[in-house]
């Protein structure tokens, strides 16, 4: 059975981000998939300082082991697909959510060829910018992006209010069905992953 990890990137454990992710998780389970919703909590999460120690050690973990980053990397590595949801703060996801994404991807979390979806929750505005911000890092690491009938966005302020956003909840369910279909298609095809050429970094200042 394939497993989908859903990361709740909100400081509120059971707020509207949880509501949206739970709607997706229920549909994923109806599609025969295992799910886990992991909350990032309220403790500080370091930002990446680009020290490169993770690359030198090559163990796929951040050298700083005093927050949830490495634990989350292990959960990501054990999953077959990933969904990250977050609220909108000043037009972008919370800083701790972005810090976690950047560190775990830079350290080498195994996300290549794993279906990925972003989910953004907002009271009123900034949802599309936050949604794009969550999605862009995974487009750089060969993670297939799961779409829906609309951008994966839902609206709400008070905890649980997003459940009343009928279109938002429908979008979560359609995204979940699309993810389940993608996972089944990948498993059924049983094809090797696409070849990746060695990276050729090009800088535009000479």
For the chain, domain boundaries: 3-189
pLDDT tops 70 at residue 20? yes
List pLDDT tens digits, range 147-170. 999 999 999 999 999 999 999 999
At residue 200, the 3 state secondary structure works out as coil
At residue 5, the 3 state secondary structure works out as strand
CB-CB contact of 114 with 81 (8 Å): yes
List C-alpha distances in Å: 87 to 36, 40, 70, 193, 200. Answer: 19, 13, 23, 33, 35
For the domain spanning 3-189, the CATH number is: 3.40.50.360
pLDDT on residue 1: 83
pLDDT band at 31 (very low <50, low <70, confident <90, very high): very high
Q: Tokens for 116?
A: 């990925």
Mean pLDDT value across the chain: 97
pLDDT tops 80 at residue 75? yes
- Contacting residues for 70 by C-beta, under 8 A, at least 6 apart: 61, 62, 107
* Terminal Cα-to-Cα distance of the chain (whole angstroms): 51
> Which residue in this structure is represented by tokens 């009938």?
149
Instruction: Compute the Cα dihedral for 142, 154, 94, 42 and give only its sign.
Output: negative
At residue 149, the 3 state secondary structure works out as coil
List pLDDT tens digits, range 175-205. 999 999 999 999 999 999 999 999 898 988 7
Phi-psi region of 108 (alpha: psi -120 to 50; beta: other; left: phi over 0): left
């Amino acid at each position: 059975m394939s497993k989908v990890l859903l990361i709740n990137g909100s400081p509120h454990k059971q707020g509207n981000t949880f509501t949206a992710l739970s709607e997706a998780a229920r549909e994923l389970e109806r599609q025969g998939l295992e799910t886990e919703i992991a909350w990032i909590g309220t403790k500080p999460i370091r930002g990446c300082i680009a020290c490169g120690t993770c690359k030198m050690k090559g163990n796929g973990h951040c050298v700083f082991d005093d927050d949830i980053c490495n634990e989350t990397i292990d959960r990501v590595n054990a999953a077959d697909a990933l969904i990250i949801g977050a609220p909108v703060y000043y037009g972008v996801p919370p800083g701790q959510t972005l810090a976690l994404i950047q560190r775990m991807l830079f350290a080498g979390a195994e996300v290549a060829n794993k279906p990925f979806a972003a989910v953004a929750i907002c009271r009123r505005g900034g949802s599309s910018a936050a949604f794009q911000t969550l999605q862009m890092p995974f487009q750089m690491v060969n993670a297939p992006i799961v779409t829906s009938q609309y951008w994966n966005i839902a609206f709400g302020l008070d905890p649980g209010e997003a459940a009343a956003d009928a279109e938002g909840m429908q979008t979560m369910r359609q995204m979940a069905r699309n993810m389940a279909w993608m996972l089944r298609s990948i498993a059924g095809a049983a094809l090797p992953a696409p070849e990746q050429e060695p990276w050729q970094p090009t800088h535009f200042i000479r």
